[in-house]
Amino acid sequence: MNTHDEERMKKLLRQALPPVNSDAGPGRDLWPDELRRLDVRSSAASPGWAWFNSAWFDGALAVGLVGFAAFLPASLPVFLYYM
Amino acid sequence: MQNGASDVLNQFLQGDADAFEAVFRQHQRSVYGWILRIVRNPATAEELTVETFWRIHRARARFDPAKGFEGWARRIATRVALDWLRTKRTERELSIEDCGEVAAPAEVDLAVTAEIRARTALAFGRLPPKLRIAVTLAVIEEQPQKDVAAALGISVAAVKVRVFRALRLLRKDLEEQGIRP
């Protein structure tokens, strides 16, 4: 592709996709969205939230195991063997 | 004024929430405008502006006030837009209608039909994202190659190479569709 072809391709491209209006600003205030994003990401990453998730999962696991042992007591020795 | 701006940036570096809001309000328009040039869709540009400032907030420890905020923010914004193009490339291709909302009126060459323009826009949408960003900023938006290079984190020579490769791919794509540009 020579320089002439390159210039022709550039011209065609500008006609197909005109430049955007460079003075266009956002249609609304984006700060509330930014605050929401910061809150969501920081609460998901906070140790308190992780502790809650972990505690909830551990509790559910313990209840499940107790229930399993109550309904099938014969499985307890097998379970203890694999612990 | 300069001292005030630099004070705000220093406070932002230390994690001050009010300083971050001030930085956000001062630069959101330019960051949005830069992203809009790349993605050419106002709603997406708004979404990516929020993502850019979130990344700016997260990476504030790496900000060097001596190098200026604008260039650093622009580089992060470009990376965010590139990630978006990579994700959305298969889902959405550009057409002239997509650009109508934000595009300035084009100088129409009567020899170039609407169909050729539409096919060119579609071929442009099929370019690899890295080439697409380079050609968007350097050719369509006519930004200085130095600024494009800084935003992409590459040399000016590399920008020229990417633009050349993009134009060659576009030409090949159009020729395969039976159009001789």
Predicted local confidence at residue A48, as pLDDT: 55
From the CA of B163, how many Å to the nearest CA of chain A?
10
Residue type, B54: W
User: Is the pLDDT score of B84 beyond 50?
Assistant: yes
Euclidean distance between CA atoms B27 and B6, whole angstroms: 14
Measured in angstroms, the CA of A55 and the nearest CA of chain B are apart by 28
pLDDT tens per residue across span A23-69? 778 988 999 999 998 887 666 655 555 555 556 677 888 888 888 88
More confident residue, B123 or B100: B123
Q: Where in chain B is the domain with CATH 1.10.10.10?
A: 94-181
| Cα separation, B148 vs B161, whole angstroms | 13
B 134-153 → A contacts, CB under 8 A: 135-136, 139-142
Which pLDDT belongs to residue B77?
97
Q: Using CB atoms, which residue from A10, A20, A38 is nearest to B37?
A: A20
Say whether pLDDT at B132 is over 90.
Answer: yes
Q: Where are the beta strands (DSSP E) in B53-154?
A: none
Domain ranges of chain A: 47-83
- What is the least distance, in Å, from the CA of B64 to any CA of chain A? 22
Mean pLDDT over residues B15-35, rounded?
92
Give the separation between CA B18 and CA A29, rounded to whole angstroms: 16
Among chain B residues, the shortest Cα distance to A34 is held by: B50
Look up the pTM and report it: 0.75
- Please state which CATH class domain B1-92 belongs to: mainly alpha
Looking at the partner chain, which of A15, A19, A25 has a beta carbon nearest the beta carbon of B142?
A19
Q: Enumerate residues 6+ apart whose C-beta is below 8 A from B88.
A: none
CATH 1.10.1740.10 domain locations along chain B: 1-92
B56 vs B68, more confident: B56
pLDDT at residue B166, as a whole number: 96
Chain A positions in Cβ-Cβ contact with residue B103 (cut-off 8 Å)? 17-21
**ipTM of the complex model:** 0.75
The CATH number of domain B94-181, selected from 3.40.50.2300, 1.20.1260.10, 1.10.10.10, 3.40.605.10: 1.10.10.10
pLDDT in tens, B31-57: 999 999 999 999 999 999 999 999 999
Contacts of B141 in chain A (CB under 8 A): 19-20, 22
**Least CB-CB distance to A14: which of B51, B102, B106?**
B106
B2–chain A nearest CA distance, Å: 24
CA atoms within 13 A on the CB side of A25: 9
Question: Residue B166: which residues within 8 A CB-CB, separation 6 or more?
Answer: B127, B131, B132, B134, B135
